[in-house]
């Protein structure tokens, strides 16, 4: 029997991530090839005409799974009945700007959209915040949507996770699908800590630790970390625009694994509400290694954290604590 359609909201749908993301959702990349979807697309009035153009293209593409499209500049209409909300709308970082520069522009947007989601989304709506500063926007959304369970509000660090997998695969000249269990700790910013201490590669002679195969500890503890931390800035420098296809694809990975589950023995990185695990301060949206089952994520427990890693985990937590204070100061 055919499944009922799932309503998926994409905010900022006329923007460049939106343009890459909505066809992926309509093709089943996010929720599976047997899951019909109804797309809700929100943007602001100056982008209304472009948004309508995206809607026209969705019709023209004749996606079999796409059962309806709502394209609107009204947040209430956009949020009504949605089961999944991918929050991409906002002001993007431009060359030379730090994430903090875009903070004040974005936190007020997230405060307003929190209320619309809280009042009008379907019960148990899952929220993924992509727009930067992603962790802090998600935190603001959580604070101003108190009736949405905190476990339902997450932010995107899967792009950083995928970037880390990509770098290891290039370094070792192995398939990216054979690399697993890297971790992104903390903020989606240049203080994030890409950690390979528990990562492995599937080789013809079994699973081997990344550290054993790379052999170059200096590369792993300096260049690798900074390449992943700075990859967003490198893309902006190269394209004069921030990453879009990789962000859209990673947003699909994030929701797919959350809803459909992570493969056995594999974890992924998600920005989630900290419960104090690994001595990360509670009350931040912080990227942890998680496994997902039956639509629920769970932080992977019991991983060893060496002294080098501890410092990195604390540094990015400090930045998030500062961002939280700055966000509140922008709202007052």
188: annotated active-site residue = yes
- Distance (Å, rounded) from C-alpha 289 to C-alpha 313? 13
CB nearer to ligand LMR: give 113 or 132.
132
In the complex with ligand LMR, which residue's Cβ is closer, 35 or 250? 250
What minimum distance in Å lies between the beta carbon of 116 and ligand NAD?
A: 10
Q: Say how many C-beta atoms besides its own lie within 10 A of residue 204's C-beta.
A: 4
Q: Which helix (H) or strand (E) holds 58?
A: helix 48-61
User: Is 232 annotated in some ligand binding site?
Assistant: no
Confirm if 304 and 289 have CB atoms less than 8 A apart: no
Q: Which helix (H) or strand (E) holds 272?
A: strand 268-273
Place of tokens 């903020």: 187
Residue 14: is it exposed, middle or buried by C-beta count within 10 angstroms (0-12/13-18/19+)? buried
Q: Which position among 40, 120, 161, 188 bears the catalytic label?
A: 188
The window from 145-153, 228-236, 308-316, 323-331 that contacts ligand LMR (CB under 6 A) reads 228-236
| Residue 16 sits in the site that holds ligand LMR (CB under 6 A) | no
**Cβ nearer to ligand NAD, comparing 36 with 133:** 133
Candidates 40, 55, 93, 158; binder of ligand LMR (CB under 6 A) is 93
Interacting residues with ligand LMR between 143 and 172 (CB under 6 A) = 159
Question: Interface with ligand LMR includes 181 (CB under 6 A)?
Answer: no
Q: Which does 233 bind (CB under 5 to 8 A by kind): ligand NAD, ligand LMR, none?
A: ligand LMR
- Tokens coding 221: 């503890």
37-42 and 6-11 beta bridge pairing: parallel
Which of 35, 83, 167, 242 is close enough to bind ligand LMR by CB under 6 A? 242
Distance CA(141)–CA(48), nearest Å, equals 24
Q: DSSP letters of 98-122?
A: -HHHHHHHHHHHHHHHHHHHHHHSP
Residues of this chain that interact with ligand NAD (CB under 6 A) are 11-12, 14-18, 42-44, 47, 88-90, 92-93, 109, 130-132, 134, 156, 159, 188, 242-244, 247
Q: Which residue ranges make up the annotated binding site for NAD(+)? A: 12-18, 43, 106, 130-132
Q: Which residues make up the interface to ligand LMR (CB under 6 A)?
A: 93, 132, 159, 232-233, 235, 242-243
């Amino acid at each position: 029997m055919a499944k009922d359609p799932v309503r998926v909201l994409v905010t900022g749908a006329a923007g460049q991530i939106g343009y890459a993301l909505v066809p992926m959702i309509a093709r089943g990349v996010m929720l599976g090839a047997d899951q019909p979807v109804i797309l809700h697309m929100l943007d602001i009035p100056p982008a209304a005409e472009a948004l309508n153009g995206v809607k026209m293209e969705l019709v023209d593409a004749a996606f079999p799974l796409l059962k309806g499209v709502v394209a609107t500049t009204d947040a209430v209409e956009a949020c009504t009945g949605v089961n999944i909300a991918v929050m991409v709308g906002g002001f993007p970082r431009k060359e030379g700007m730090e994430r903090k520069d875009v903070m004040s522009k974005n936190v007020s947007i997230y405060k307003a959209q929190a209320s619309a989601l809280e009042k009008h989304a379907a019960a148990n709506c899952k929220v993924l915040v992509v727009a930067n500063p992603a962790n802090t926007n998600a935190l603001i959304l959580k604070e101003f949507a108190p009736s949405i369970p905190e476990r339902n509000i997450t932010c995107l660090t899967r792009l950083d996770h995928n970037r880390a997998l990509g770098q290891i695969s290039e370094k070792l000249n192995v398939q990216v699908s054979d690399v697993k269990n890297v971790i992104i700790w903390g903020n989606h910013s240049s203080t994030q800590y890409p950690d390979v201490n528990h990562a492995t590669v599937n080789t013809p002679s079994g699973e081997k630790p990344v550290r054993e195969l790379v052999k170059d500890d200096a590369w792993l503890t300096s260049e690798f970390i900074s390449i992943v931390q700075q990859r967003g800035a490198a893309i902006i420098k190269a394209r004069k625009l921030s990453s879009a296809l990789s962000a859209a694809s990673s947003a699909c990975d994030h929701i797919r694994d959350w809803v459909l589950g992570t493969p056995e023995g594999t974890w992924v990185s998600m920005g989630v509400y900290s419960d104090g695990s690994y001595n990360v301060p509670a009350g931040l949206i912080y990227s942890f290694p998680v496994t997902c089952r039956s639509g629920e994520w769970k932080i992977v427990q019991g991983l060893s954290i060496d002294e080098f890693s501890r410092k990195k985990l604390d540094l990015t937590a400090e930045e998030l604590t500062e961002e939280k204070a700055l966000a509140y100061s922008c709202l007052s």
